[in-house]
Every structure is written in C-alpha cells, then in structure tokens.
Amino acid sequence: MFEYAPAPESVRPQIKEHYGLFIGGEFVDAEHVFKSINPSTEEVLFTVAEASEADVARAVAAARKAQETVWGPMSGTERGKYLFRIARLLQEKAREFAVAESMDNGKPIKETRDFDVPTAAQHFFYHAGWADKLAYAGLGADPKPLGVVGQVIPWNFPLLMLAWKIAPALACGNTVVLKPAETTPLTALMFAELCQEADLPPGVVNILTGAGTTGSALVDSAVDKVAFTGSTAVGRAIAKAVAGSKKKVTLELGGKAANIVFDDAPIDQAVEGIVNGIFFNQGHVCCAGSRLLVQESVAEEVLARLKERVSLLRVGDPLDKNTDVGAINSAEQLERITALTEAGRGEGAEVWQPACDLPENGFWFRPTVFTGVQQSMRIAQEEIFGPVLSVLTFRTPDEAIAKANNTPYGLSAGVWTEKGSKILWAAERLRAGVVWANTFNQFDAASPFGGLKESGYGREGGRQGLEAYLDV
C-alpha cells in the first residue's frame, strides 16, 4: 500500500458563531439555543436557535402568507427562474457548501464535493424546469399546489435531503417549513442565506432548527402536507399523528437492503459495488447494501477480495481529499452501531475489521464485515446505519430472492450478474423501490427514489416525485 501525504482541503467556509431561525425571509432568535459540533473533532462549530411551538406557528403562518399572496399566484415560469437561480448559486458556492457539510456531518470531502452538493444543485435545476410544465406531468390537466408543506430531514445527507424536499415542493407552487436534523443544521442555514441572496420572496422557504419536539410540533401544525425522511419508528408516529386529518404525507424511511452477488457476477466490479454499497457515507444511508447475499460457490473468493479491498479504505479526517470513510455523525449513533455490532458477536456471527488507526478525538468506527450471519440475527434484521456489513450466503436464485425479501423494509436492492435475463428476473421479484443492477447507490434528480412496505411511501425525484406535492 502506498503511503499518502495528507491532502487537506484548504477552503474554509464562513461559519457564523450563531444562527437564528429563518422565518419570513429573516433570521430571528429563539429562547433556547443548542450547539452543533464537528463529529470528527468534537469541537463546537456554532450555536443555533431551537424552535418552539410558537416559532413553528409563526413559520407556518409566514409560509401560508407567502403561498397565498406570492408563490402560489406566481407563474410557473417565474417560479422556475427562482429555482434555476438557486441551482446556479449552489454551484457557485459548491466548494464552500461541501466543506461546511463535511465539517458539520463528518463525511469525507470527496463525497460532499463530488456527490452531495452537485446532486443537490441538480435537484434544483431539474425541478426548476418542471415549474411551468406541471400540466404535462401526466397527473391531470390542471394540477394545483397543496399549500404549505412541513418537511423534516435526517442528518446523513443534510443538504441533499433539503434539496430533495424543497426543490419539488417549490416547483409545484407550495411553500415550505423545513427542519434540518439536530446534529447537522449548518448547510440548511447556509441555504437560507442563499435564499436571501437569490431574492426568493420572504416566507417561501422557512428553516427551523431544533430536535424531535420541534419536528413533532411541525407535524402537528397547520400544514397541508408532511414530508419526512428518517427512521421507520418516527415515520410510524407521523402516520399516526396525521390519521383522521386532511394532511397528506410521504415517508422515506429505513432499509435493510440486500446486495445479491450471483456466481456469474463480474467479481471485481461486484466487490467495488459491495464496498460502495455499505461504506459510502460511513454506511449512514437508508438504502445501504447492508446485507450481502453471495452465492455459496463464489463466497470464498468474493469475501477474500472484499477483505483485501476494505483493508485499503482510508478512514480519518473528513477534510482530507484521500479519505474514504469519515467520522460517525454523533456519539449517539456511534453507541447504536457499537451496540448492534456487539449483538452480532453475541449471536455468534464472525466479525472482521481491517487494521487501521483511528483519530483520538471524534466519533469513529472501523469498517466491519460479519460473516456466518443467520437471517434471525439482529444484524441481519435491524438497520445499523453504520459501516457494518452482514454477509449471508445462498445456493439458488429462488433462495436469494426469498432471503432478500425477508425483511419488513423494501427500499433498495442490488443484483450482480452478467446475465441480463437473470437481472430482470430478480428485479421483478425484489420487493424494493429501487433496484441497482451491476451498480449500487446511484441517485439522480430524474430518477424516482423511495420505498415499499415499512420503508414508507411516496417517491422523490423524476416525474413520479411530483405526485407528492400536487393536488391533481
């Protein structure tokens, strides 16, 4: 293995010492504040306001006013131009956003720079174009906005999830109140500043920082729709909270994706795909390929090559351009990953980790591969949301499908084989909203993403994603 010299990213974004709530186009303060830390150093980055129920009501009122008086009546062409402008500004400030995201979230700069921020900009650019073409979306001749949308997003892709939520909502003529995750509010607040710079009319986008109580206050507020990405437990609570109301809801929840490697797979590419599937973003991915199902006849070869490849992953400073695996997002998440990994050991699975040094401060977890995993084990059933792969084997294609579908989740799945008909056969049988064949973890604004079963309902992206934000 080559020795790498450190290659730290030199750009530093302007991070304020304190951020307020973004309501009606202005930053306003709140009674309580909390700290946001850099998970790779545990240093405090800034403090941020915690929105109360009253703040939520104020933000929803601002969004309502903006929807009824400005954004709703505005022509689609003009709405689209604002979104194009936002996309362009995001591209201009891409490096600053990427570094800020890596600092606040812990993910490697390689990913924020090459994936999170450019894909977020693409989402705005893509949906900008829909704003004056909604009648052609195949949903009805005269689709109408829903009104005010309350959106709650997770910490794993803070800016990208914001883009997935805000871009289609705005394109369809809705206004939004968005709550970023407690541990990763930075890029949402920078986005609020960007909205000011874009001269977006006040109240069209409102950003409320806070924790779970702020989120549930937003769900219970006078919004017309709730869009949520996060855990299945919270998704279930939201579905219950809106029961009997007129609020629409879309939920993008957990997953426990199977990544199936057949004996006729291109092994080198499959190994790359397995690594990308589970170690991308430290495994903090709802659609992560966390269950590797490998055909018995090639299991030994695949595992040997996999371990060799994982040994080469560079774990460490998120701002180093060579880093493959960054910091775990929070102490709480590290604890959860550790507990589930212990459960895996306790239930008799065999654990393997590469030898690699971890930084002293911050939250870190070595890439981990469990072999000898049985379907009943917690590491095969529960979403770990960390860099932990559970390896199971199968003998026949039917067995692979049965094992892949043996989960209450249904978000994504992977299939590796050189045989086209086998891909289509498997893709048809896999109960998942997204199937990656001979690839994994691909995302695009034009491609609908979302799950089945307890992974939630509704799609984000593509023509189909517009359904979530229109009354047709």
For the question of residue 286 being annotated catalytic, the response is yes
Neighbours of 126 (CB within 10 A): 21
Which run of H or of E encompasses 37?
strand 32-37
List contacts with other proteins (CB under 8 A). Answer: 110-111, 114-115, 122, 138-140, 232, 235-236, 239-240, 243-244, 251, 253, 266, 269-277, 279-280, 309, 313, 324, 408, 423, 427, 432-442, 444-450, 452-454, 456-457, 459, 462-464, 467, 472
Q: Closest by alpha carbon to 45, among 55, 53, 35, 54?
A: 35
Supply the minimum distance, in Å, between the C-beta of residue 81 and other proteins. Answer: 21
User: What residues form DSSP beta bridges with 229?
Assistant: 252
For the question of residue 195 being annotated catalytic, the response is no
The H-assigned helical ranges of 93-230 are 94-105, 109-111, 117-130, 158-171, 186-197, 212-220
155: Cβ contacts below 8 Å, ≥ 6 apart = 105, 180, 181, 182, 183, 184, 284, 329, 330
Count of all residues that appear for the chain in the document? 472
- Of the listed 172, 195, 286, 287, which one is catalytic? 286
Supply the minimum distance, in Å, between the C-beta of residue 170 and other proteins. Answer: 21
Indicate the residue among 328 and 432 with the shorter CB distance to other proteins.
432
Indicate the residue among 24 and 235 with the shorter CB distance to other proteins.
235
Distance CA 309, CA 355 (A): 12
Supply the minimum distance, in Å, between the C-beta of residue 183 and other proteins. Answer: 24
Contact 59, 177 (CB under 8 A): yes
DSSP for 328-353 reads -S-HHHHHHHHHHHHHHHHTTPEEE-
Contact 148, 67 (CB under 8 A): yes
The H-assigned helical ranges of 42-93 are 53-66, 76-92
DSSP for 195-232 reads HHHTTPPTTSEEE----HHHHHHHHHSS-SEEEEES-H
Supply the minimum distance, in Å, between the C-beta of residue 32 and other proteins. Answer: 30
Contact 48, 209 (CB under 8 A): yes
In this structure, is the dihedral angle defined by the CA atoms of residues 110, 111, 116 and 119, taken in order, positive or negative?
Answer: positive
Side chain identity, residue 200 = L
Indicate the residue among 22 and 228 with the shorter CB distance to other proteins.
228
Indicate the residue among 117 and 275 with the shorter CB distance to other proteins.
275
Side chain identity, residue 354 = P
Supply the minimum distance, in Å, between the C-beta of residue 248 and other proteins. Answer: 10
Strand, helix or coil at 33?
strand
Supply the minimum distance, in Å, between the C-beta of residue 246 and other proteins. Answer: 8
Indicate the residue among 191 and 449 with the shorter CB distance to other proteins.
449
Supply the minimum distance, in Å, between the C-beta of residue 67 and other proteins. Answer: 22
Indicate the residue among 46 and 457 with the shorter CB distance to other proteins.
457
- Of the listed 9, 252, 383, 454, which one is catalytic? 252
Catalytic residues: 252, 286
